[in-house]
Structure 1
Amino acid sequence: MATVSPPWTYALQLPHDPRAPGVARHTLRAVLHAHRLGALVETAELLADELVTNALQHAEGTCGLRLREPAPGRLRIGVWDANPEIPPPFKGDPTAPPDADAERGRGLRIVEMCADSWGATTLHQGGKLLWVEVVEGD
């Protein structure tokens, strides 16, 4: 059986479509199981879903999902879109808690609570890349 040592990378371009978060989760699950990182699936799916959903809500056009294992047991999830605005936690600013009856505004708080690290990069062709990392065993 062939094995792939870190770092490996997968990239997926997603259409501006409400089914995109589900496609991202399905792809993520398949990749993590193929690389024997099933322990990361639940947290990684939640994080990828939040980032892809935000890309669909705040940007026009396609977005992309990038999965990378930079070191054994460490997964980096990146989502790029065409909107150059970087949200507060990715700039180092904490997000304010949403009102108890708010219908939106919890996604980035989930990212702050579940990701081991995160960051953002402005893309030279326009837009941004938001990334989060999760570590096996944390």
Structure 2
Amino acid sequence: MTATTTSRPTGHPGYSETLPREPESAAIARRLVRAACTAWALEAVADDAALVVSELVANAVQHARRESIRVVVERTGLRTVRVAVADFSRARPVARAVGEGDEDGRGLALVEELAVGWGADERRWGKVVWAELQAAG
């Protein structure tokens, strides 16, 4: 499977890419997010948005079905970026309590910490998990 990047001519400015559902796709998603933030002069949120999209991709890789996921980056406001990962599973993400010695399970807590809001929208075919980040100023 090859990755494709598209930008939308109408609506909120955005970029999207269909990626294989594998751990290596997180790096491609981070590059897409950083490129979008740079294009919109929102470098102040680029690192946090890249970290958030990595966590969302990791969850989709671990819990979704089928062989692909879709990463979407939108500029929803003057200083606001929304990153989203669509997959073919209807199972909603659940933040869970983790212990000091746990090696995983902290992803959604990190998303909650960095984002001004996050959620999951059900679709007929699966779900879209999203997070919004806002630049200071």
Please identify which structure carries the higher strand content.
2
1:85 counterpart SS class: coil
**Structure 2, unpaired ranges of 5+:** 1-8
Q: TM-score, normalised by structure 2?
A: 0.86
Aligned 8 A contact 2:70 2:86 in 1: yes
Residue type of the alignment partner of 1:52: V
Greater than 4 Å deviation, 4+ residue runs: none
| Equivalence map 1:1-138=2 (5 Å) | 7-60=12-65, 61-88=67-94, 95-124=95-124, 126-137=125-136
CA distance in 2, matches of 1:87, 1:17: 18
CA distance in 1, matches of 2:84, 2:37: 15
Counterpart for residue 91 of structure 1: none
CA distance in 2, matches of 1:44, 1:71: 15
> What is the CA RMSD across the aligned residues, in angstroms?
1.6
1:134 counterpart SS class: strand
Counterpart for residue 92 of structure 1: none
The offset of 1:97, in angstroms, is: 2.4
Residue type of the alignment partner of 2:78: P
1:77 counterpart SS class: strand
Aligned 8 A contact 2:14 2:36 in 1: no
1:87 counterpart SS class: coil
Percent identical among aligned pairs is 31
